Amino acid sequence: MTTVDARALDNSPLGILHRVFGYDAFRGQQSEIIEQVVGGGDALVLMPTGGGKSLCYQIPALVRPGTGVVISPLIALMQDQVDALSAVGVRAEFLNSTQNGAERMRVEAAFIAGELDVLYLAPERLRMDSTSALFDRARISLFAIDEAHCVSQWGHDFRPDYLQLSMLHERWPSVPRIALTATATEHTHQEIVRRLDLGGSAQFVSSFDRPNIQYRIEPKNQPLQQLLALIRGEHAGDAGIVYCLSRASVEKTAEFLVENGITALPYHAGLDASIRQRNQARFLREDGVVMVATIAFGMGIDKPDVRFVAHLDLPKSVEGYYQETGRAGRDGLPSTAWLAYGLQDVVQQRRMIDSSEGDRAHRMRLSQHLDAMLALCETLQCRRVQLLAYFGEKSAACSNCDTCLSPPEGWDGTVPAQKLLSTVVRLQRERNQKFGAQHIIDILLGKRNARVEQQGHDTIATFGIGGELSEQEWRGVVRQLLAQGLLGVHADGYGTLVITDASASVLDGSRRVQLRREPERAARGPKKSAVAATLPGEAVPLFEKLREWRAGIAREQSVPAYIIFGDATLRGIALTKPSTLAELSGISGVGDKKLELYGEKLLEVVAAA
């Protein structure tokens, strides 16, 4: 595809925004950030996924003389990032380990000659002396450090090569830097500042709220069937991501969905690299594909029309959960973040922390991360309020999460907690025995099964005293006591339960235990897709025809469909039904290059509808 020199016309940031990218106005803090970098200043940008971080360095790279160098860990996505910029007329290339010598020489020559607007670079290339020599020969407009949270050594996406990025300022002090991330607690924020030597930079922290995402967390009860109901009932034909903790669970879940008529693909580190690449390409390029993955997948995914992110296992931290759920609804249209969470999740995570590498302080940090995640799962309050509070942001109840839409009931669980803890104490102290949750619950319910009778546990004083709750309700009590630190998991690797230092205050009655009772939620019937639901009925057929046309163009060019146009742009066309190029150019997302390439064909699709 041919490109044009993006500097040839109006060179103001707002002019480039409209002419190149097809948008009328900046959002949030974009204008201030761009002004800071265009003026030669450094910037640290904390902005949620879908907030428009990329424009904050792409536009300054087009305004300032030279080439913007973008440091990114996302080698597998660089081609798509370059394709997306090329599609709007920006001269972009990348340098990474996937290229042969001839390709690298071609890109380097263009870089030195000043023929590039943006160059993407993998961080490990900065270890090479040849890269420094290359930078010295070219004119660089800015350094953008994408996914800056990768510099955090205790973060979930740590990249060792990011630790050396302070050298950019040391070696080329006159080149402005902009570091960007979609997620950072105050601790991670300060770590980025320190490790990248950004103490003198302007710092921009946007709201982390994603109001279009509906957060829902529910107890596990046949989780695969729950997931299938979610997809069939609310997201039939939509693109989505399903996160699982293990490779085996990824494979099992993908197979289950395929068997039930869902187009689903697996993605985890155990797959051959060519299979991972092929599955990722299908997810990006085709409509309605569900990717089932470990957390190895997703960072930097620019696909704007992911309508749901589902977790079948408990995430290790709120930060990780926020990062992963943020991959839904980047286009601002309604999307779902759904998590199925159960007792075994808590036991497994506690066990993994106890057996993890690192010192006691590291395990304590992991435990604090898990405690915050458990608090989010068990809260009686608005999920969004609790989620944003984790990032230091105050907010009001959102009316778009499960606890707002179907408020759970709090109840005094002190007596059941005492019964359960007393059973654990009697086994642990009187008989020097430890058992898992199911056996403890069997004792409380008075079940005379083989294991209970063989162990003589039908003679324990607490045998049969728990009939006021069902087995499922008792599992909820165990889960919540674990979440509150009132019950522990022994480090024997078998998930056996033990009392903690905090258990004594419950047993002696000095501490009350407040528990959460799940509300009865009506089954959700099938509904329109997220985009169709925002359109009047008469506009839906045209929208679907535009999607078909877009899919054909994307196949011809071997690029993701969203690189041609996003759903939000097609929605705008379906609503306004433009009949002239001038009318079409006024729709958000239609810049000059795309108007030139696709304008006449789009008008034909509209006219034929």
More confident site: 383 or 491: 383
Judged by average pLDDT, the poorest of 288-292, 387-391, 411-415, 425-429 is 425-429
pTM: 0.83
Chain mean pLDDT for the chain: 89
Kindly state the average pLDDT of the residues 14-43.
95
Q: Which residues contact 67 (CB under 8 A, 6 or more apart)?
A: 61, 111, 114, 116, 117, 118, 119, 138, 139, 140, 141
Q: State whether 262 and 384 are in the same domain.
A: yes
Q: How far is CA 94 from the centre of its chain?
A: 24
Q: Is the pLDDT of residue 350 over 90?
A: no
Q: State whether 567 and 488 are in the same domain.
A: no
Q: State whether 551 and 574 are in the same domain.
A: yes
Kindly state the average pLDDT of the residues 13-23.
94
Using one digit for the tens of pLDDT, what is the confidence trace for 549-566?
998 999 899 888 889 998
3-state secondary structure of 303: coil
Q: What's the confidence (pLDDT) of residue 528?
A: 56
| Domain termination site, one of 159, 178, 205 | 205
Judged by average pLDDT, the poorest of 16-30, 327-341, 515-529, 586-600 is 515-529
Q: Is the pLDDT of residue 525 over 70?
A: no
On whether residue 179 sits in a domain, the answer given is yes
Q: How many Cβ atoms from other residues are within 10 Å of residue 479's Cβ?
A: 26
Using one digit for the tens of pLDDT, what is the confidence trace for 207-264?
889 999 999 999 998 999 999 999 999 999 999 999 999 999 999 999 999 999 999 9
Which domain range does residue 535 map to?
Answer: 531-608
Using one digit for the tens of pLDDT, what is the confidence trace for 358-373?
777 878 888 888 889 9
419-455: burial string, b at 16+ Cβ within 10 Å, e else: bbbbbbbbbbeeeeebbbbbbbbbbbbebeeeebeeb
pLDDT band at 538 (very low <50, low <70, confident <90, very high): confident
On whether residue 482 sits in a domain, the answer given is yes
On whether residue 115 sits in a domain, the answer given is yes
Q: State whether 415 and 404 are in the same domain.
A: no
CATH of the domain at 590: 1.10.150.80
| Domain termination site, one of 493, 517, 541 | 517
Q: State whether 323 and 388 are in the same domain.
A: yes
Q: What's the confidence (pLDDT) of residue 168?
A: 92
**What's the number of domains the chain is made of?**
4
Q: Is the pLDDT of residue 298 over 80?
A: no
Percent of the chain with pLDDT over 70: 94
Q: State whether 453 and 399 are in the same domain.
A: no
Q: State whether 403 and 422 are in the same domain.
A: no
Q: State whether 258 and 400 are in the same domain.
A: yes
Decide if 164 contacts 126 (C-beta within 8 A).
yes
Q: State whether 404 and 419 are in the same domain.
A: no
pLDDT band at 529 (very low <50, low <70, confident <90, very high): low
Q: State whether 41 and 162 are in the same domain.
A: yes
CATH of the domain at 506: 1.10.10.10
On whether residue 132 sits in a domain, the answer given is yes
On whether residue 372 sits in a domain, the answer given is no
Q: What's the confidence (pLDDT) of residue 428?
A: 81
On whether residue 96 sits in a domain, the answer given is yes
Q: What's the confidence (pLDDT) of residue 351?
A: 82
Q: State whether 177 and 318 are in the same domain.
A: no
pLDDT band at 183 (very low <50, low <70, confident <90, very high): confident
Q: State whether 266 and 287 are in the same domain.
A: yes
| Domain termination site, one of 388, 408, 428 | 408
CATH of the domain at 174: 3.40.50.300
Q: What's the confidence (pLDDT) of residue 187?
A: 83
